[in-house]
Chains A and B, each alone.
Chain A
Amino acid sequence: QVQLVQSGAEVKKPGASVKVSCKTSGFTFTGYYMHWVRQAPGQGLEWMGRITPNSGVTNYAQKFQGRVTMTRDTSISTAYMELSSLTSDDTAVYYCARLSPPITYWGQGTLVTVSS
């Protein structure tokens, strides 16, 4: 069955970077876009961007341009999202997701806490 398993919770200081991984199984990794979505406490879902695993081409939301880097390792069917220059506003649960409505699969979420 399709699974997206994310790395564990992180605590970072302001100004630092965080890299979250998303290991996939149960489908052909290179056949589907991989998206990243976050949800800050008390806030809604926010689409951050996507990567095309086959080519590595990325598309980022304007808000995150210059601060986010999405990569992948096709040999281990894993996607990565790195966010730099963290502030307290980046405290959120970060999800990887295969979004092809009506078929969607989500990782379990990774809590990133930014605190001094």
Chain B
Amino acid sequence: EIVLTQSPGTLSLSPGERATLSCRASQSISSSYLAWYQHKPGQAPRVLIYGASNRATGIPDRFSGSGSGTDFTLTISRLEPEDFAVYYCQQYGSSPPYTFGQGTKLEIK
């Protein structure tokens, strides 16, 4: 079973700053099957990035994804107040399990 490890656990930044979130897999996964979600309290998780680097419809271009193999990154170029949330990576390859990382909490500094 592939384990996804996200870092840092908590990231404290100010609006306007750049955020870099990491997701490391215990074994190589296809870039085609790595997604990033944003999750706010009381809401369903929202897909930001799929296929490691493709923005989902309606997602602002300040969000970008990169990486391959075992190392993936979500970057938010300039933080807006609404971006403070918990972020998860997930691998959803051809075979389950479709594990999530443990999450990175992005909080206002």
Contacts and interface: CB of A to CB of B under 8 A. Distances in A.
Interface of A: 35, 37, 44-47, 49-50, 59, 61-62, 95, 97, 99, 101-104, 106, 108-109
A71 to B, nearest CB: 17
B70 interface: no
Interface string B1-12: 100000000000
In this complex, which of B46, B54, B100 has the most chain A Cβ atoms within 10 angstroms of its Cβ? Answer: B100
B84 interface: no
A92 to B, nearest CB: 14
A22 to B, nearest CB: 13
Given A50-B96, A95-B44, A106-B44, A101 B86 contact: no
A44 B97 contact: no
**A-B residue pairs, 9 tightest by C-beta:** A106-B44, A101-B50, A102-B56, A44-B103, A59-B96, A101-B35, A102-B50, A45-B100, A61-B97
A23 to B, nearest CB: 16
Contacts of A108: 44
Nearest to A47: B98
Interface residues of B, number: 25
B79 to A, nearest CB: 21
Contacts, number: 59
B27 to A, nearest CB: 15
Contacts of A95: 44
B47 interface: yes
Interface string B25-59: 00000000001010100001111001100101100
Contacts of B103: 44-45
8 contacts: A44-B86, A44-B103, A47-B96, A101-B35, A101-B51, A102-B50, A102-B57, A104-B47
A9 to B, nearest CB: 15
Interface in B37-96: 37, 39, 44-47, 50-51, 54, 56-57, 86, 88, 90, 92, 96
A102 B86 contact: no
